[in-house]
Amino acid sequence: MPSTPPPPVRACLFDMDGLLIDSEDLYTICTNTVLAEHNRPSLPWSIKAQLQGRPGPQASQIFHAWAQLPITPEEFYARQSQLQREHFPKTQPLPGVLDLLIGLRKRGVKTALATSSHKGNFELKSSHLPHVFDHFDEEHRVLGDDERIAPGRGKPAPDIYLLALKTLNEVAKANGDEDIRPEECLVFEDSVPGVESGRRAGMQVVWCPHPELLLEFKGREREVLAGLTGEHKENEEEELARTELQLEQGKRRVGQPGEIDDGWATLLETLEGFPYHKFGIEEKNGKEVSK
């Protein structure tokens, strides 16, 4: 366990699907429709839990190995995309999201988006929700098909969250502000691979899972919060070498997961009534600001 508690939060980095908006349930509807058309069982949460948060290619391998559909992957995705174009424009923000985004802005906390969704799907899900996504400046939206993320380096690898932080620090540098360190970031995630991604980025994490996902990991919550579910398979030495330039002496180790009960991750069943003080965002001179 760390000898010191996490520092106050200066930036919040957000996943999207199932965290900001209710798109995870819409994904399930689309997938189950195709499965039913081919007399296959509905997608169980034991499989869905492995798909959440992952980039398309990795999720595809897991899904098709389980589904054993009598059609090609190309035929499946053509039909699924048709259904997604119908359902994704219906997305709505999840409880507490708008109040949290507004509250963070009032308190001077920087925000960025880090989603595995590619640009086309992102626009389908977000274009009708400007009151949600206007809280993320264009340069602070990192999508799953961002060319700056190397192939195979999506969640649960830490790259997407480190890149989101880099976009914030580029603006901070231009404004003459002090860099935000990884340990001063709070990642918001609903998925298990996403929690591991945030922990491997050396950041604090809030895990706010779907109720069915929480049931799936009942008894393993502490393992999830530590990022120790083993979703990321890269050799630890290779991971450390890859992120060596991002390390600072005495700071948390970027590239590795956390430890059980280390105090760097929190389980919240809802984002409603968010506990700002728990993360060092305090009221000062009549205003709440990030210290």
pTM: 0.88
User: Is residue 243 over pLDDT 50?
Assistant: no
At residue 254, the pLDDT reads 78
pLDDT averaged over every residue in the chain: 89
The answer for residues whose C-beta is within 8 angstroms of residue 277's C-beta and 6 or more apart is none
The class that CATH gives domain 11-21+92-279 is alpha beta
Give the side-chain half-sphere CA count within 13 A for 158: 29
Active-site residues: which are they?
Answer: 15, 17
* % pLDDT > 90, the chain: 80
Domain segments of the chain: what residues?
11-21+92-279, 23-90
Give the CATH H-level superfamily of domain 23-90: Putative phosphatase; domain 2 (1.10.150.240)
H/E run at residue 265: strand 265-267
User: Do 11-21+92-279 and 23-90 come out as alike in CATH topology?
Assistant: no
User: Are 88 and 124 within 8 A, CB to CB?
Assistant: yes
